[in-house]
A and B are shown apart, each in its own frame.
Chain A
Amino acid sequence: SAVISQKPSRDICQRGTSLTIQCQVDSQVTMMFWYRQQPGQSLTLIATANQGSEATYESGFVIDKFPISRPNLTFSTLTVSNMSPEDSSIYLCSVSSAYTGELFFGEGSRLTVL
């Protein structure tokens, strides 16, 4: 298993500002995943953060809007840039078990954009 610490747990942000979410894992992992859940919607994969290379973004998500850093094998950040109310969501980071494939999640960052 993996223990994932994520912060902030929640924040209220003004339109047009940016916020960086931090994710710390208690063990070294190759890939870290960033998900978003908009109200009433499914968890949607934003990007996969790989150590030593650029993140891989899913369709509909771009680096300018969601820049990701992955400076080492235990840490990653996701920035939500130039926020609008549509960015109000829960953002989750996760890692997967190499043995079972199950995901371990942080507790999420609940962002409200006014």
Chain B
Amino acid sequence: ILNVEQSPQSLHVQEGDSTNFTCSFPSSNFYALHWYRWETAKSPEALFVMTLNGDEKKKGRISATLNTKEGYSYLYIKGSQPEDSATYLCAKGTNDYKLSFGAGTTVTVRA
């Protein structure tokens, strides 16, 4: 993998259902993996910054895991709610403070 890739590009979830999606990244020169949530007409907001292989982080109903050796991270949303509708961006950080972003996964939660 040469670039940060996110899949799927979009998904629709029924309210109350759980879902997850993937961020894949080059495992070389890894410093950190970021997740951001970007709601329409708002600023992107950081969810997690993970640095260690095997890291798991949780914020409310949202959690993330990290595998730096194989170069992937999963974001999980448990019991999706309409307010979870947003585009979720992941970004790989290298030691020069720069972030390389994926194109995002757009989640739409249907009531």
Q: Which residue of A lies closest to B9 (CB)?
A: A40
Our pick among B42, B46, B98, B103 for the contact of A41 (Cβ within 8 Å) is B103
**A101, B50: Cα distance in complex, Å:** 10
Given contacts A42-B4, A45-B98, A96-B97, contact A103 B46 (CB under 8 A): yes
Q: B36 to chain A: which residues have CB within 8 Å?
A: 103
Q: A105 to chain B: which residues have CB within 8 Å?
A: 43-45
A100–B49 touching, CB < 8 Å = yes
A45–B44 touching, CB < 8 Å = no
Q: Contact residue range for chain B?
A: 20 to 34
Whether, in the assembled complex, A26 has its beta carbon less than 8 Å from a beta carbon of chain B, the answer is no
> A35-53 CB contact bits vs B (8 Å, 1 = yes)?
0000011111100000000
A103–B34 touching, CB < 8 Å = yes
B43–A108 touching, CB < 8 Å = yes
**A73, B45: Cα distance in complex, Å:** 22
Interface size on A, residues (CB 8 A): 19
Give chain B nearest CB distance to A43 CB in angstroms. 4
**A102, B46: Cα distance in complex, Å:** 6
Give chain A nearest CB distance to B71 CB in angstroms. 16
**A38, B4: Cα distance in complex, Å:** 16
Whether, in the assembled complex, B89 has its beta carbon less than 8 Å from a beta carbon of chain A, the answer is yes
Q: Taking beta carbons and an 8 Å cutoff, which residues of B are in contact with A?
A: 3-4, 32, 34, 36, 41-46, 49, 89, 91, 93, 97-104
For the complex of A and B, the 9 pairs showing the least CB-CB separation, nearest first, are A102-B46, A43-B101, A105-B43, A42-B101, A42-B103, A105-B44, A107-B43, A102-B49, A100-B49
